[in-house]
Amino acid sequence: MSYKWLKWLILWIPTVAIGLWEYLRHALLLPFISMDLGNVLAPVFVFVITLTLLRALFAKLESMQESLQRERVVKAAFEEREQLARELHDGISQSLFMLSVKLDKLERAKTVDDMQQTTEQMRKTVRHVYDDVRQSIANLQELPIPADLSWMQSIHHLTAEMEQSCGIRTKVEWHLQEGVLSHKQKVELLAIMREALMNVQKHAKAEQIVIRCGSGQEWDAQPAVFCCSIADDGVGAPAEKLYEKGKYGVKMMQERADALGWSLSVQKTDPHGTTILISGGSNKK
C-alpha cells in the first residue's frame, strides 16, 4: 500500500464510519435506540471503528517513515563515501602516481643537480599527499551536516570553519533562490567552494574572502542560470601557474564543474587577489 493511499484511508475512515452509523441508526435502529442514546453511542462507535482500523494503518505509516529515514541515512552515507572516493582519486592517487614518475626520473638522473631537483620535487609531492590525507581525515572526523539543514546553513557552516581554522574573514552574499540547483549540484558546488577555500588557506596569504552567488540575470550572464564567485585579497597567482603540473586543486574544481556542464575560470584580480567564477545551468531532472 502506497503512502498516498494510507493518507486517504486515514482521512476517510472516520468520515465513512460516522456516515454508516447515522444511516443504520435512522434506517434500522431508530425503533430500538432513542435519539439521545444514539447521539451518545455515535462517538463511541466511531472511536471503536477508527481505533480498530487506524491502528494498523498508523503502524504501516510509521514503518514506511522509518524505512524512508533509513534510505536517507544510507543515501547520505553513500554520498559521503562517493565524495571521499573522488577526493582520494583526484588528489592522493594522482599525487602518488606523480611520485612514482619522479622516482623513475631520479633513477635516470645523471648529475647531482638533477638528483637534488628531483628530490625536492618529490618532497613537495609528499607534502601535498600529507596535506590531502590530513584534510580527508579531518573531513571524516567532522560531524556531517544534518540533512534537514538548509543550503544557506551549509554555506555558513563552511565559512565558519574557515574563520575558526585560519582566521580569514569570510563574507557571504547569497542571492540564489532555493530550488534552482538539485541536491547533487549543491553537493558539487559546495565541494568546489571547499577546495577553493582550502587553496586560499594554503597559498594565498589572504585576510578576507568574499563569496557571491546569484542568478545569471543579476550577473548579466543571460545564458547562465546561476553564477558564483569566490574572491580573496591574497597575493594572487597567474592562471597558467595554477594549471601547471603538480597543481591539483584547480584541476579538481575544473573536473567537478565540467561533469555538470558548468563553466569555471580563475582570474587574477587587480591590484591583488584571485577570483574563481563558476557559472552554468541547473540541468535539473
The terminus-to-terminus CA distance of the chain in angstroms comes to: 27
pTM of the model: 0.51
- Whose grid coordinates read 633513477? 107
Q: Facing residues of 280 across strands?
A: 226
Hey, is 228 helix, strand or coil? strand
Grid cell of 39 as nine digits: 447521539
Say what the pLDDT of residue 278 is. 93
**Counting every residue, how long is the chain?**
285
Phi, psi for 60 (deg, rounded to 5): -65, -40
CA 69 from centroid of its chain's CA atoms: 17
Q: What is the pLDDT of residue 285?
A: 46
What is the pLDDT, as a whole number, of residue 148? 43
- Note the pLDDT of residue 141: 58
CA–CA distance, 47 with 59 (Å, rounded to integer): 17
Digit-by-digit pLDDT tens for the chain (285 residues) are 566 776 777 777 777 878 887 888 777 877 777 777 877 777 887 778 777 777 777 777 778 778 888 887 777 777 767 766 666 665 666 667 777 878 888 888 888 888 888 888 888 778 777 776 776 666 665 555 554 456 677 788 778 877 876 788 899 998 888 778 887 888 888 888 888 888 888 777 888 999 999 887 777 666 788 899 999 988 876 555 665 554 556 878 888 899 899 999 988 877 778 899 999 876 554
- Distance separating alpha carbons of residues 242 and 247, to the nearest angstrom: 6
Q: Which grid coordinates belong to 149?
A: 539543514
* Cα angle 162, 146, 210; round to 5: 30
Site of grid cell 579538481: 252
Eight-class DSSP state of 23: H
